[in-house]
Every structure is written in C-alpha cells, then in structure tokens.
Structure 1
Amino acid sequence: MSFKKTTDKVTNRFRDDELRGVEKCIRRIVRANDVQSRALAKQIGLTAPQLITLKAIAALGEVTTTVLSAHIDLSAATVITILDNLEARQLVERYRSRNDRRVVHTRLTPEGAALLTRAPEPMGDAFARRFADLSPERRSQLILALTAIADMMAPGEGLPKDTLPH
C-alpha cells in the first residue's frame, strides 16, 4: 500500500471518529432537551417551544408573528400553531392592527404573565446556573461553537460543501 493511501485511510478514520463524536454529543443534547421538555410539560403544562414563545412575547411586548418568528428562530407556520395553542389556553391574545388590518399582533394576557413568573428556564434551572457560572469568554465560545454547528446542520443553508474548512 502506498504512503498516500495509508495516510488517507488514517485521516479518514480520524474524520469518521470526529464525526461520530459530534453526532454523539448532538444526540445527548437532543435527549437532554426532550427530557427537560417533558419535565417542563409536567411542571407548568407547556412545551419548551411554547415557553420560549411566551418569554419572547414578554420581552418584545406586543409583537407580530413575523418578528416573533425571527426572534425565536422558528418558522412562521410553527409559531402560528404555538400561538393557536397558547391563545386557546388564554395565555396570549391576538388582535388586528388598527392601521393595517392584515397585520396581527400578539400580547400576553394576565394569565400568561402570571405563568411566566413561576416558570423555570426552558433548558432547566440547573443548566442555566451552570452556564451562568462560566466565564463570559467561555459562554461566548460555546455560543459561537453551537451556532457554527447549527449553521452546518441547517438544510440548504451555509457554505457550499467544497468551501468548508478541512
């Protein structure tokens, strides 16, 4: 076997091992998120996306679906479904703009605001504490790394395959 073939085989094995390591970490994150979401549903009766949506409405005030969708990084269709459920539970209310009847705004109801005062962090209070205990530099590094992974995983987005770093 030539030196190049041996080197390529070793390099590919390291890349395969690294890829498996990334996949394993992502599976652990997804599993932990699922467990946390189920605990959240038991504790306050909301899914993580519903709680995140409520928190975003509280932070943004009266908001359109488009702005809310961009803020929480979910599709408008998903946000509308979440808002339908939250509205049915009387946690939010939607109304049409007086200036442009095509525009729909959403705001928290008093019930929604009260629920938020007793709601835990969407990713769990333990995670929030551990993350807060990290240095600001380390938190930034983790956010950058997770953003890069999310960008690489996004379907049809990001850099063309041949421009990714090796």
Structure 2
Amino acid sequence: MDRTDKSLIALRRILRATELYGRRLAKEAGLTAVQLRVLQIVAESGRSTPKELSDRMGVTQATITALINKLERKGLLTRQRSETDRRQTNLMVTAEGHAKVDDAPDPLQQRYVQQFEAMEDWEQAMMVSVLERLAGMLDAEEIDASPVLTVGEISSHGKV
C-alpha cells in the first residue's frame, strides 16, 4: 500500500471516529458534541455570555445564538439579563443541563487534548503544521469551526 492510500485511510479513520462519537453522544445524551461543549463551558464558569462563548469556541455570534436557542428550547440553558449591564445577557445551565453534562460519554476531544498536551513541544508544533496543511489541501482553512471534534450541524456557509 502506498503513502497516499495510507494517508487517506488515516483521514477516514479520524472522520469515522468523530462520526461514531457523535452518534453515541446523540443516543446517550440527546446532544451534539458542539451543544455539549457549550453546556460544559457555561457549567465550568457558572455563567457565561454569548460573546464569551463565541470567542472561546472560535465561531460567530450567529452560530452561538443558534446553539443557545436550541439548548434553551431543550430546557438545558437559561438566559438572564445582567444586573450590572442591562444590555448583556448571562447564560446559565439548568439542573437538567448539568445532568446532561455529568451523564454524557467522555468527549472525544478530551482524549485528544490529554494525549496532545502530553506530547513534546516539537511534536505538537509538527502536528499543528500537518493538520493546517491538510486543511489547506482540502480548501478548508476558511471554514468557521470550533475546537470541537464533531460532524454534522454544518450550515451551507460552513458554520458549525
């Protein structure tokens, strides 16, 4: 087998692992990986603003608003006007949202992060370089994407 085939197999395995995790998460928690990550971020801090989420996840305000709306409709997140700045909205995870976070399967990206951070600095730099090059080869460097390993829920504009 040549290197081209080996590289395509490795890429397919990554995509497949992400897809399988997404299916498991949807089945067990009824959430997408991105929705779970939003809940995790808000739960970690106790409260968050849409702007903070947008900045932290590296996606547009419109993308975050759509995610917040879905989580609010599911009763997992609530919005509350800030007492100090009436123009600002604070987000808080409901009791049901906390239960979803606690019961969700171990996120795929947590396993990746743990192993990536255990690598030597030069290995991390090489990995980032290779992944950025791969994104460029697939004309994907301009796609709006959060640091969440997921498939699906991508709009026609490439937003998560």
SS in 2 for 1:155: coil
SS in 1 for 2:78: strand
- Within 5 Å, give how 1:42-121 maps onto structure 2: 42-121=27-106
- Give per-residue Cα distances to partners, 1:73-108, cap 9 Å, x unaligned: 332222211111111111110122223222111111
- Pick closer, same or farther for the CA change 1:63–1:34 going to 2, 3 Å: same
In structure 2, the partner of 1:138 is 119
Amino acid at match of 1:57: V
- Pick closer, same or farther for the CA change 1:145–1:31 going to 2, 3 Å: farther
- Pick closer, same or farther for the CA change 1:100–1:110 going to 2, 3 Å: same
In structure 2, the partner of 1:5 is none
Paired residues of 1:56 and 1:72 also in contact (CA < 8 A): no
RMSD: 3.3
Which runs of no fewer than 5 residues in structure 2 stay unpaired?
A: 136-140, 144-160
Distance 1:74 1:135 in 2: 22
Which runs of no fewer than 5 residues in structure 1 stay unpaired?
A: 1-16, 157-166
* TM-aligned CA deviation for residue 29 of structure 1: 1.6
Distance 1:57 1:139 in 2: 31
SS in 2 for 1:138: coil
SS in 1 for 2:31: coil
Amino acid at match of 1:155: E
Amino acid at match of 1:29: I
Distance 1:77 1:98 in 2: 24
Structure 1 or 2: more helix by fraction: 1
In structure 1, the partner of 2:147 is none
Q: TM-score, normalised by structure 2?
A: 0.68
- Give per-residue Cα distances to partners, 1:45-100, cap 9 Å, x unaligned: 01111111111111122111111122223322222111111111111101222232
SS in 2 for 1:100: coil
Paired residues of 1:131 and 1:139 also in contact (CA < 8 A): no
1:155 aligns with 2:155: no
- Asked which structure has the greater CA Rg, the reply is 1
1:33 aligns with 2:18: yes
Identity %: 29
Greater RCO between the two (CA within 8 Å, min separation 6)?
A: 2
* TM-aligned CA deviation for residue 27 of structure 1: 3.6
| Equivalenced residues, count | 137
